[in-house]
Amino acid sequence: MTLPKDLLAQARLLAEKEPRRPKQASLRRAVSTAYYALFRLLVDDGSRRLMGGANRTALRSCLARAFKHATMNTVAKQFAEGGVSPKLIPGLNGEAPQNELNSVASVFIDLQQQRHEADYDMRRRFTRIEVLSIVDDAERAFRDWRTVRGSAQADTFLVGLLAFDRMHL
């Protein structure tokens, strides 16, 4: 799982790159990279947990490409806002989603929105302080994910991220 960590470190380096007057290009790439760090963390972890075992690297790679940004956003919003779909409720084992899982979902939504602005809204100006805060949020999501990643709720979240649009009641 080195790529997600490397992307997160790269986001911070980009945010801190020019000491006096940061370039918008560096700040925008930092925002985008912070999002992709969390995206890759969830996709890589989901692919490994859903397709474990030796000699399955190629199959995990195929599975990873099945994760879609829009579906992931839909599911993340459910967890962040506390309105998890009946399609996913059975996987929560009768409990409310863990706070750390809600936090990961919330940060994912925010980072995705920030990435869209960084990549597509050229009128939007980013400040270093703002971008460092975004990178901090991504780092917090990594820590929160480590706390919950082995739980049935995290598995439910990952299954939803991958297959929510194809699930039925």
- Residue 112: count of CB within 10 angstroms of its CB: 18
pLDDT digits (tens, 9 = 90+) for 143-168: 999 999 999 999 999 999 999 999 99
Domain of 38, in residue numbers: 2-166
Task: Count up the domains in the chain and report the number.
Answer: 1
pLDDT digits (tens, 9 = 90+) for 50-85: 888 888 989 999 999 999 999 999 999 999 999 999
pTM (two decimals): 0.96
- The whole-angstrom separation of Cα 64 and Cα 44 is 7
Comparing CA positions, the residue from 3, 165, 24, 151 lying closest to residue 91 is: 151
- In order of 36, 44, 103, 167, the CA distances from 100 in angstroms are 19, 19, 5, 25
